Structure 1
Amino acid sequence: MRDRKYKFKVFAVVFAISFVCFSFYAYQIFFTPNLQFKKGDTYLFIPEGANFQTVSDSLKKNNIVTDYLSFAFISRLLGYQDAVKPGMYRISANMSNLYAVRMLKRGRQEPTKLVFNTIRLKQDLAEKLDNQLSLSKEDILKLLGDPKFVSQYGFDTTTILTMFIPNTYEVYWNIKGKDLFDRMKKEYDIFWNDERKSQAKSLGFTPVEITILASIVEAETNKQDERSIISGVYINRLRQGMPLQADPTVKFAVGDFSIKRIYDGHLAIDSPYNTYKYTGLPPGPINLPSTKCIDAVLNTAIHKYVYFCASDDLTGHHNFAETYEQHQKNAEKYRRALNKLNIK
C-alpha cells in the first residue's frame, strides 16, 4: 500500500514537473519574442508565387528569426506553410512566433508610400515604380505603351503620363498593374475636380493640354512666382498663332537634358516636340509637372508679354518683353553673361 502511494507521488511529481516544463516551452515558442533585430522595424517582402521555403530563406538571409525551428513548428501547426500570401509585411522588434505567423497567414501586410516626381520619360516612371513596388519596369512600360489598355482611361500612349499626378500615395507593395492604373485614374479624377476643369475650359484647354503646357513651364523655371507669367506668355503665343519656341521641348526632342545653350543644329531636328519647327502644343508632356505648376497654369497671369529670356544675373529668373526689339536686347544681355562664364 505504501509502495503504491509512493509510486503515485513520484508519478505526480514527475507529471507536474513535465507539465510545467512543457507549458514553459510551449509559452516560449508561442509567445516569447523570436523575431529580433537591432532596433526599430524591418520589412519582409514576399513576392507573388512564393512558397514557405521562399519565406524561410528570406527570414534566414536577413537574420530576422532567432529560433527558426520554433517558427517553422508554429507555421506548420497553424497551417501557414500552405497559405503563404504575397506582400510587404512589417516585422516589429520582439514580435512573437504566434503573432508573426497569424499576421502572415491572414495577409495583414503594410501599405507602402508610393512617391514619384521629377519624371521626364516613361522609362523614368517605370524605374521609380519598379524601385518601390513588386511590379517590374518591363511590365509597367508594356502597359504604358499598350494603345488598347491606356484607351480605357481616356488617354493614348503619348498622353498617358498626364494621368499620373505627382504625389505620395499609400498602396500595397504587390499591387497589380491594372489596379495601379485604376488607382491613378481615380486620383486623377479627384485632382481634376469641377473647379479645375472649369478653369481649364475658361482658358480654352483640356486638362491634358493644361498638363502638357505645365510640363513646359515646369522645365522653364523653378521660380513659383514666375510660372503663371511664363504660362501667360505661351498662351498669348498660342492665341496669336506663334510657335511656342520653348527650349525645353527642343531638349526633349534631342533627348539631351544637359544642354545649356540651344544652337541651330538643335533647332533643325524634325520632331513634333520641336516647338520652334511646329506650332501648337507638343503631342504629350515633356515631364510630370507638379500640382503647384498645374495650378499656376490654371491661374495664368493676364498680360501682353509674348517673349521672355533668362535674366543676365543668372539667378534663374527671367526678363519679359512685349516687343521683339526689347526681347533681343534682353537676349543679348543673357548671351554676354553666358559668354563671360564660357558656358557653351
Structure 2
Amino acid sequence: MNIKRILLILVLLGLVVGGSFAYMVYSAFFTPNTSFEDKEVFVFIPSDASFSDVKKNLGPLLKDVGAFESAAKRKGYTENIRAGKYRLVKGMNNNELINNLRVGNIPVKVAFNNQETLADLAGRISDQIEADSISLLNAFRDTDFLSENKMDLDTSLALYVPNSYEFFWNTDAVEFRTRMLTEYNRFWTDARKTKAKALGLTQNEVVTLASIVHKETAKIDERPKVAGLYLNRLRTGMLLQADPTVIYAIKKETGNFDTIIKRVLYKDLEIESPYNTYKNAGLPPGPITMPDISAVDGVLNPEKHNYFYMVANVENFGYHMFAKDLAQHGRNKVQYVRWINAQKIKR
C-alpha cells in the first residue's frame, strides 16, 4: 500500500513538474512578447550583427527579453543571425518573432535621380541600404569594371538609370552596382539602340546630350524640341554653347557642386574646361547630371525643326523662345535680358 502511494505521489509530482515545464516552454514560445503600441515596426539587422546586437536592437520592442533569448537558443537562432530589414507585428510571440527574423527579410524601395556626381549618388544610396557611401563610391569608380563596360570616370554616371528599385537592405556596394548594370542593359532595348545609331550617337553620347537637355528645361514636353535644337547644332558643326555645361565646369573646377548659379556671365564663357561647350566643339566628355528617362527619350525622339537658338521665355516661365537665325534670337533675347536685369540677378 505504501509503495502504491509512493508511486502515485511520484506520478503526480512528475505530472506537476512536466506540466510546469510544458507551461514554461509554451510561455517562452507562444505568449505574445511585443511591447510597442503601433500595428507594426521595422528593425534592421546589420550584416556583422551578433545575437547581443539583435537583443540590443529588439530590447525596447519586447516585454521579456530573457524569454526571447531562451526561445532563440532553443531554435538555434543565436548562432544563425541573418541581416536585413524585418517587419514585426504587434502581438507576435517569440516563435513568430524568431521565424520572421530567419526568413522574413523584406525588400526596401531605393530611389534616385538627378545626381550630379558619383559622390552624390553614393550618398543618396547609402541612406537607403546598408552599404556605406565610401564602399559605394569605390565600386562606382572601379576602373576595371568601367573599362569592361566601355565606360570611364567621365561617362560612368550614365550607367545609373534613375528610377525606383527594390533591394534587400543588406545589399553591399558591388551587388548594388551589378544590379544597376543589369537595369542599364534592360533600359537600352534594341529599339533605343537603333534610334541612337540613327542619330550617329553612342549610348554614352545620348545620355550626355540628355543631361544638357535635362538641365536646360524641366518641362518634359519641351525636351524633344530642345534636343532637336542641339542635334541641329551638332550636325552643322556649330558649338553647342550650352550654359549648363559652363555651370558644371565652374562647379567641377571649384569642387563645390552645391553652388547655385542662376546667371552665366561673359567671363564664365572663357573658363578652360573640356565641359565648356562655348570653347569646345561637340559634346562634353560625359554627363553633367543624371538625366531623367524623359530627357534620354527626348534625345532619342527629337522634334525635327530648323531652330538653332533659344532663350528663356519670360512670359511663359519654364519654357523657351526658339529662333532659326541670330536676328530673331537677338529680338527674343532682349526680353530676357531686360527681365533678368530687373530681377537684379548678378550670379
| Interval containing the TM-score (normalised by the shorter chain) | over 0.9
Distance in 1, matches of 2:320 and 2:332, equals 9
Under a length normalisation based on structure 1, what TM-score does the superposition of the two structures give?
0.93
Residue-by-residue CA offset, 1:204-230 (whole Å, 9 max, x unaligned): 111111111111111111111110000
Residue-by-residue CA offset, 1:32-76 (whole Å, 9 max, x unaligned): 22134221322222222221111122222xx12221001111111
Return the match for 1:270 from 269, 272, 276: 272
Q: Which residue of 2 aligns with 1:51?
A: 50
Query: How far is 1:137 from its partner?
Result: 0.8
Does the 8 Å CA contact 2:237/2:281 hold for their aligned counterparts? yes
Instruction: Map 1:212-231; keep pairs closer than 5 Å.
Output: 212-231=208-227
Residues 44 and 13 of structure 1, relative CA distance in 2, 3 Å threshold? same
Residue-by-residue CA offset, 1:236-280 (whole Å, 9 max, x unaligned): 001111111111111111116511111022212111111111111
Query: How far is 1:91 from its partner?
Result: 2.1
Residue-by-residue CA offset, 1:165-198 (whole Å, 9 max, x unaligned): 0111111112122221111111111111001111
Pair 1:334-2:333 in alignment: no
Distance in 1, matches of 2:83 and 2:130, equals 10
Residue-by-residue CA offset, 1:62-113 (whole Å, 9 max, x unaligned): x122210011111111222222222222222222211222333x45411111
Pair 1:68-2:65 in alignment: yes
Return the match for 2:240 from 228, 234, 244: 244
Q: Which residue of 2 aligns with 1:41?
A: 40
Distance in 2, matches of 1:269 and 1:131, equals 35
Please state whether the residue corresponding to 2:335 is helix, strand or coil: helix
Query: How far is 1:321 from its partner?
Result: 0.2
Query: How far is 1:141 from its partner?
Result: 1.4
Under a length normalisation based on structure 2, what TM-score does the superposition of the two structures give?
0.92
Query: How far is 1:146 from its partner?
Result: 2.5
Which letter maps to 1:335?
V
Q: Which residue of 2 aligns with 1:296?
A: 298
Return the match for 1:127 from 119, 123, 132: 123
Does the 8 Å CA contact 1:36/1:95 hold for their aligned counterparts? no
Which letter maps to 2:215?
A
Does the 8 Å CA contact 2:118/2:137 hold for their aligned counterparts? yes
Please state whether the residue corresponding to 2:87 is helix, strand or coil: strand
Instruction: Map 1:1-344; keep pairs closer than 5 Å.
Output: 1=1, 10-60=9-59, 63-104=60-101, 106-255=102-251, 257-313=259-315, 315-344=317-346
Query: How far is 1:5 from its partner?
Result: 5.3
Which letter maps to 1:238?
L
Please state whether the residue corresponding to 1:135 is helix, strand or coil: coil
Unaligned runs of 5+ in 2: 252-256
Distance in 1, matches of 2:337 and 2:232, equals 25
Deviates more, 1:253-262 or 1:68-77: 253-262
Distance in 1, matches of 2:298 and 2:16, equals 77
Query: How far is 1:17 from its partner?
Result: 4.1
Query: How far is 1:149 from its partner?
Result: 2.6
Does the 8 Å CA contact 1:313/1:337 hold for their aligned counterparts? no
Distance in 1, matches of 2:77 and 2:113, equals 39
Query: How far is 1:15 from its partner?
Result: 4.1
Residue-by-residue CA offset, 1:120-147 (whole Å, 9 max, x unaligned): 1111101011101111111111222221
Number of residue pairs matched by the alignment:
340
Query: Alignment RMSD, CA only?
Result: 1.8
